[in-house]
């Protein structure tokens, strides 16, 4: 009886070994095919931009300077009894409270890119200085301009060159009484171009129109 039991155990073990035991065998997945770079490019749809082309286009767009909106000046008339026709204007400084100090020149040769804030040396050259809140849509009543504090530019003045060493300045509210309004049609940051409109009367004088303003001072326009 004992010998029979041993034979049975040996037989069972032989069967298990032949079948791989009680554990199931897992088949390994077939290897994935290797795709070359040339095959990938060939599979791409015709006309689809590559990564290099997209990067190049993005770089080109970021280095292209924005187009500045400009228009010819129309501001002209008379002020303090003499003709004035705007040729150029620029933001020459930033007073307190977010305002811009603007100078408007009647000199046809005025180059505000190089000489913003400077009156030409030619006898009779004139400029208008005006301080405005530098924000699109802002308006100021010229009849309500107040006298400037010490060391500050007056809110509106006219300056004329008398000779190489002398200029003459006339201040609104003190030397003449203007009426009308000035408006910021478009504000801009440094390096940009804004535009203002002035409609002014003072006695027999009348000055009206618009002029672009080159922003040379470091101002942040809202």
- Select, from the ranges 20-24, 66-70, 114-118, the one with the highest average predicted confidence (pLDDT): 114-118
Confidence of residue 39 (pLDDT cuts 50, 70, 90): very low
Q: The tokens 């029979």 sit on which residue? A: 4
The beta-carbon contacts of 59-64 under 8 Å, at least 24 apart in sequence, are: none
How many helices and strands, by DSSP H and E, does the chain display?
A: 4, 11
Query: Residue ranges per domain, the chain?
Result: 76-215
Who has greater pLDDT, 43 or 164? 164
H helices within 64-202, ranges in order?
A: 112-115
End-to-end CA distance of the chain: 106
- Select, from the ranges 25-29, 48-52, 214-218, the one with the highest average predicted confidence (pLDDT): 214-218
**pLDDT at residue 149 in the model:** 64
- pTM for this one? 0.69
Dihedral sign, CA of 74, 212, 97, 138? Answer: positive
Contacts of 196 (CB under 8 A, 6+ apart): 89, 102, 130, 132, 182, 183, 184, 185, 210, 211, 213
Cα-Cα-Cα-Cα torsion 162, 85, 186, 109, nearest 10 degrees, comes to -70
Question: Which of 19-33, 64-78, 93-107, 139-153 is least confident?
Answer: 19-33
């Amino acid at each position: 009886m004992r010998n029979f039991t041993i034979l049975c155990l040996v037989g069972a073990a032989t069967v298990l070994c032949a079948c791989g035991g009680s554990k199931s065998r897992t088949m390994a997945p077939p290897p994935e095919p290797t795709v070359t770079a040339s095959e990938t490019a060939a599979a791409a749809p015709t006309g689809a931009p590559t990564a290099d082309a997209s990067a190049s286009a993005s770089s080109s767009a970021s280095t292209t300077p924005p187009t500045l909106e400009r228009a010819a000046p129309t501001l002209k008339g008379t002020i303090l009894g003499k003709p004035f026709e705007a040729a150029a204007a620029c933001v020459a400084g930033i007073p307190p409270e977010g305002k811009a100090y603007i100078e408007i020149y009647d000199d046809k040769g005025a180059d505000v890119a190089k000489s913003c804030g400077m009156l030409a040396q030619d006898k009779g050259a004139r400029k208008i200085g005006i301080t405005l809140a530098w924000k699109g849509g802002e308006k100021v009543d010229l009849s309500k301009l107040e006298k400037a504090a010490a060391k500050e530019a007056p809110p509106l003045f006219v300056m004329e060159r008398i000779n190489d060493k002398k200029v003459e300045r006339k201040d609104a509210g003190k030397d003449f009484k203007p009426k009308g309004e000035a408006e910021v049609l478009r504000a801009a940051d440094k390096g940009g171009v804004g535009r203002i409109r002035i409609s002014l009367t003072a006695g027999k004088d009348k000055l009206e129109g618009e002029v672009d303003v080159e922003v040379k001072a470091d101002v942040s326009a809202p």
